[in-house]
């Protein structure tokens, strides 16, 4: 029986398919877990020590809504040096997902359209529905490149925002400088908010990362410490954009998250300048290991960034969901079916943020799964 007081909003989106796999992983005795989208390396020692010091120093109260002043000022300095924009302000959010929630609450009214590229990070669709907006996925199949003409055709008078995620989850695609420039200029020309989700910007294996904020000063940038610094559970993100929009987002932060976790912000401050090159390089090597071992039996676009791979299921399977189910039942292999990220269920996501041993076990299982019964 459906409870009378459940909202239509709650019924407008499904529970995360990724979380369902996480829950399943907890029930398996020795899973080959290539599903988790979080780094397997630890927080740098400086961050751990700073967080412990913060606890011992009784930093257990709220910070300012906009964040710990020392952390905010350090990030603002970096942003000012990089962009030199006269109107670009920073605040600290409760993770990048928290930042996206605030951005949509501050900009999207009922019936407004939010464009994002498909396949997409699961929260883009769900959060758009949550605030009463209309999700407008723009397909990037089959090679996950960004078709600017297709994007332009998707824009209507109700389009309020475009979300760009590069490097992308789940595909590992990195937008080229030309693509980023074209998207940024199109958004500016049409007076549409461009939201750039840059949480994976440190994980670029094909050159320097390019932000659309370089070409469009009104771009709202979402970033954080979860991926590059191995601290997803600390829930410390940050946002920078036009001052008026930032002030509106802060109003929503006051009445929702209040502030990002205090002790986590002290930890983030301690790692802001820590060199993570060694960890990033290890992920490039893991990508190469998987790609070199299975690219001859799976159709794969080689990832250029992040720590995900999005192969197409072999012929003989009805769907990625069927493929994933067999992987779980026969090999305890946990990967994510494509219908979690898309209306198309032809691909599956591998996360190579796992140990080499786990990856090697996964490769063996994937080779066996390619042999369709």
Q: What is the pLDDT of residue 178?
A: 96
Q: Is residue 229 part of a domain?
A: yes
What number of H helices and E strands is found in the chain?
A: 12, 12
Q: Is residue 5 part of a domain?
A: no
Q: In this structure, are 175 and 230 located in the same domain?
A: yes
Which domain covers residue 365, as residue numbers?
10-43+276-369
Q: Is residue 77 part of a domain?
A: yes
57-106 pLDDT, tens digit each: 999 999 999 999 999 999 999 999 999 999 999 999 999 999 999 999 99
Domain end position, chosen among 244, 271, 298 = 271
Q: Is residue 54 part of a domain?
A: no
Q: In this structure, are 237 and 352 located in the same domain?
A: no
Helix (H) or strand (E) holding 297: none
Q: In this structure, are 239 and 195 located in the same domain?
A: yes
Q: In this structure, are 175 and 124 located in the same domain?
A: yes
Q: Is residue 202 part of a domain?
A: yes
Q: Is residue 50 part of a domain?
A: no
Minimal CA–CA distance to 197: which of 182, 175, 178, 176?
175
Q: In this structure, are 155 and 264 located in the same domain?
A: yes
Total domains present in the chain: 2
Q: In this structure, are 134 and 216 located in the same domain?
A: yes
Q: What is the pLDDT of residue 373?
A: 64
Domain end position, chosen among 230, 245, 271 = 271
Question: Is the C-alpha dihedral spanning 178, 180, 183, 184 positive or negative?
Answer: negative
Q: In this structure, are 291 and 267 located in the same domain?
A: no
Q: Is residue 201 part of a domain?
A: yes
Q: In this structure, are 214 and 132 located in the same domain?
A: yes
Q: In this structure, are 355 and 236 located in the same domain?
A: no
Q: In this structure, are 266 and 284 located in the same domain?
A: no
Q: In this structure, are 110 and 135 located in the same domain?
A: yes
The CA distance from 228 to 231, in Å, is: 8
Q: Is 222 helix (H, G, I), strand (E, B) or coil?
A: strand
Q: Is 254 helix (H, G, I), strand (E, B) or coil?
A: helix
Domain end position, chosen among 271, 291, 309 = 271
Q: What is the pLDDT of residue 17?
A: 65
Q: What is the pLDDT of residue 61?
A: 95
CATH number at residue 354: 3.90.1150.10
Q: What is the pLDDT of residue 28?
A: 76
Q: Is residue 4 part of a domain?
A: no
Minimal CA–CA distance to 120: which of 135, 130, 109, 131?
135
Q: What is the pLDDT of residue 5?
A: 84
| Ranges in the chain, pLDDT < 70 | 1-2, 16-22, 24-25, 373
């Amino acid at each position: 029986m459906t409870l009378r007081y459940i909202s239509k909003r709650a019924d407008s989106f499904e529970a995360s398919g990724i979380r369902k796999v996480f829950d399943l992983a907890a029930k398996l005795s020795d899973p080959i877990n290539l599903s988790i989208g979080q780094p397997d390396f630890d927080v740098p020692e400086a961050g751990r020590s700073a967080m412990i010091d913060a606890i011992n120093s009784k930093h257990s109260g709220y910070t300012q809504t906009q964040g710990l002043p020392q952390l905010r000022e350090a990030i603002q300095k970096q942003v000012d040096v990089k962009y030199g924009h006269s109107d670009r302000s920073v605040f600290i959010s409760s993770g990048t997902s928290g930042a996206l929630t605030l951005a949509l609450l501050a900009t999207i009214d009922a019936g407004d359209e939010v464009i994002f590229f498909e396949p997409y990070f699961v929260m883009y669709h769900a959060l758009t529905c949550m605030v009463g907006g209309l999700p407008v996925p723009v397909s990037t199949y089959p090679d996950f490149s960004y078709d600017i003409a297709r994007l332009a055709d998707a824009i209507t008078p109700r389009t309020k925002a475009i979300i760009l995620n590069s490097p992308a989850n789940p595909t590992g695609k990195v937008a080229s400088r030309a693509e980023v420039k074209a998207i940024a200029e199109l958004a500016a020309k049409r007076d549409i908010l461009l939201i750039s989700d840059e949480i994976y910007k440190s994980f670029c294996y094909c050159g320097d990362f390019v932000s659309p904020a370089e070409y469009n000063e009104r771009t709202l940038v979402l970033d954080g410490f979860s991926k590059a610094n191995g601290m997803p559970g600390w829930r410390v993100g940050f946002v920078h954009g036009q001052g008026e929009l930032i002030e509106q987002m802060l109003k929503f932060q006051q009445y929702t998250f209040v502030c990002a976790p205090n002790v986590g912000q002290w930890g983030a401050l301690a790692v802001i300048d820590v060199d993570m090159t060694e960890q990033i390089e290890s992920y490039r090597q893991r990508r190469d290991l998987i790609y070199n071992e299975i690219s001859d039996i799976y159709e794969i676009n080689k990832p250029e960034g992040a720590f995900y791979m999005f192969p197409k299921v072999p012929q003989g399977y009805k769907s990625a969901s069927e493929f994933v189910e067999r992987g779980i039942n026969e090999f305890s292999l946990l990967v994510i079916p494509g219908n979690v990220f898309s209306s198309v269920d032809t691909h599956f996501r591998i996360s190579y943020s796992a140990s080499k041993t786990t990856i090697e076990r996964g490769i063996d299982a994937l080779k066996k799964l390619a042999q369709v019964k």
